[in-house]
Amino acid sequence: MNNNTPCLFCAPEAERIFYAGHLSLAMWDRFPVSPGHALLLPKRHVNSWFEATQAEQAELLAGIDVAKRAIEQDHRPDGFNVGINIGTAAGQTVPHLHIIPRFVGDVDDPRGGVRYVIPDKAHYPATPVESTNQTTGNAVMKASFPESGSANDLPHQRALVMGGDDPLLPHVRGHLAAAGSADFAVAFLMDSGMQLLAPHLHDLVERGGEFRIVTGTYLGVTDPNALIKLLDLQQQFPDRVGLWVFEADEQSFHPKAYLFYTGRNRRGSGIALVGSSNLTRTALTNGIEWNYRTIPTSNEPAFQVARDAFTALLKHPRIREIDAAWVDAYRAARNHETIHRSAGVAPEPQPKPPEPHSIQQRALAALEHTCEAGNTAGLVVLATGLGKTWLSAFDTNRPEYPRVLFVAHREEILREAMETFRKIRPTAQLGLYTGKEEIPRALHSG
């Protein structure tokens, strides 16, 4: 480093720091490559990784696990890139380690990994070069979504998405980013699938779009935890989210359709993906699933048929709107032990529950000691970014706290708190208590 160049990290903003060790700091990147991008750096100013002491290097490497746990509290990455830049040619400013969360579909072909530091060398080609027939599909999609750039956000624009090396997830993400509204009809809805799409559905409705979904109870495969998360979203945007269930009983219910409209309120043209993929992690990421995509304007009758079919489905006598009471009853009646065997659906691995990091563990121990001493109130003071909301969720996740009130001065903070409490209490009934809405039975409200 040039001695006249101001150091970017000698006086970092306190709200960015989420962990402080003896020799190092962990903080959130101001310009993240992906959500949850973290940095590890020594407290002492050194010119490069190789000039750090062995103790500093060891603590920085140990900090990778600390950063991983902190990232996973707010995000569900599918992988990580860990790297360090050394020297001007490698892009070094101040020596620090990058811990970059990676998500399925964030790039077309992720196998290059850190090779992306030299973009032209990044790819190990996974598929042959597209044929010239794709030009027509690009032009047609651009005509249907002229303001979105959606054709550039998709791995390809062919009519058939085949799964495996061509997963459905990045296509659904790309179309959601371009859409003004969306309708999904899926036989099975799993929590693993919701984790992948929840941020994108939230983005759709937050920018004024609408989202409707119909799922089914056939064989009890649909996960009530996924339904609860959709109810959380509906509570935040009650006029923009519609939730229905097909009460199948002994009748089969097996549609898998994803409809994306150019305009809000399901106006305009659109694109439909119809095929074999339910809303599960396996079906969206690595399963061999065939889904046919209707090409807008050139194949408008096909999209109109799908639109009309969804409208007709909502009028079926077995359809009913979902609410918290219905989910509670469904959960109680669902025989979890026999579901996957009877449905022929492979069980998906359950995510590990979030765990408090070291600073939170110390605060929780102090709170526990305070309670054991007979005190009925306590105060914890933490710097911004160390997880005060997470701390409150961890501390109150016990039977002696049947109801919790989380108070904040802005509604957006309450919404973020709901997401945090949901990760700690996946089956609880949560709700907002604001000037606009009230959920009297909610376990946690604010």
Q: Do domains 14-121 and 160-343 have the same CATH topology?
A: no
Query: Which tokens is 286 given?
Result: 């690595």
pTM equals 0.59
The superfamily CATH assigns to domain 160-343 is: Endonuclease Chain A (3.30.870.10)
- In sequence order, which residues have a C-beta less than 8 Å from that of residue 225 and are 6 or more positions away? 191, 426, 427
Q: Over pLDDT 90: what percentage of the chain?
A: 35
pLDDT level of residue 85 (50, 70, 90 thresholds)? confident
CA 129/CA 134 separation, integer angstroms: 10
Task: Quote the pLDDT of residue 133.
Answer: 41
- In sequence order, which residues have a C-beta less than 8 Å from that of residue 116 and are 6 or more positions away? 107, 122
Task: Quote the pLDDT of residue 319.
Answer: 96
Q: Over 70: is that where the pLDDT of 310 sits?
A: yes
For 14-121, the fitting CATH number among 3.30.428.10, 3.40.50.2020, 1.10.10.10, 3.90.550.10 is 3.30.428.10
Q: Over 90: is that where the pLDDT of 170 sits?
A: yes
Task: Quote the pLDDT of residue 213.
Answer: 98
* Higher pLDDT among residues 439 and 433, named by residue: 433
Q: What is the mean pLDDT of residues 209-231?
A: 93
Task: Quote the pLDDT of residue 437.
Answer: 59
Burial of 260 (0-12, 13-18, 19+ CB in 10 A): buried
pLDDT level of residue 274 (50, 70, 90 thresholds)? very high
CA 430/CA 411 separation, integer angstroms: 14
Q: Over pLDDT 70: what percentage of the chain?
A: 79
Q: Over 60: is that where the pLDDT of 291 sits?
A: yes
- In sequence order, which residues have a C-beta less than 8 Å from that of residue 280 and are 6 or more positions away? 188, 189, 190, 192, 193, 345, 348
Query: Which tokens is 431 given?
Result: 């709700």
- In sequence order, which residues have a C-beta less than 8 Å from that of residue 397 and are 6 or more positions away? 424, 425
Segment 3-34, tens digit of pLDDT: 445 555 666 778 889 988 888 899 998 888 88
Q: What is the mean pLDDT of residues 290-313?
A: 85
Question: Is residue 227 a contact partner of residue 159, using CB atoms and an 8 Å limit?
Answer: no
Task: Quote the pLDDT of residue 298.
Answer: 53
Q: Count other Cβ atoms within 10 Å, centred on residue 240.
A: 20
Segment 27-79, tens digit of pLDDT: 998 888 888 999 998 988 888 888 888 888 888 998 999 999 999 888 888 88
Choosing from 98, 171, 175, 444, the catalytic residue is 98
Least trusted range by pLDDT, from 327-341, 363-377, 427-441: 427-441
Task: Quote the pLDDT of residue 134.
Answer: 43
pLDDT level of residue 295 (50, 70, 90 thresholds)? confident
**Would you list the domain boundaries of the chain?**
14-121, 160-343, 358-424
Considering the chain, what is the average pLDDT of its residues?
A: 82
Q: Is 98 a catalytic residue?
A: yes
Segment 114-130, tens digit of pLDDT: 666 666 555 544 444 34
pLDDT level of residue 137 (50, 70, 90 thresholds)? very low
Segment 319-345, tens digit of pLDDT: 999 999 999 999 988 876 556 555 556
Question: Is residue 147 a contact partner of residue 137, using CB atoms and an 8 Å limit?
Answer: no
pLDDT level of residue 132 (50, 70, 90 thresholds)? very low
pLDDT level of residue 384 (50, 70, 90 thresholds)? confident
Segment 410-431, tens digit of pLDDT: 877 887 888 888 888 887 888 7
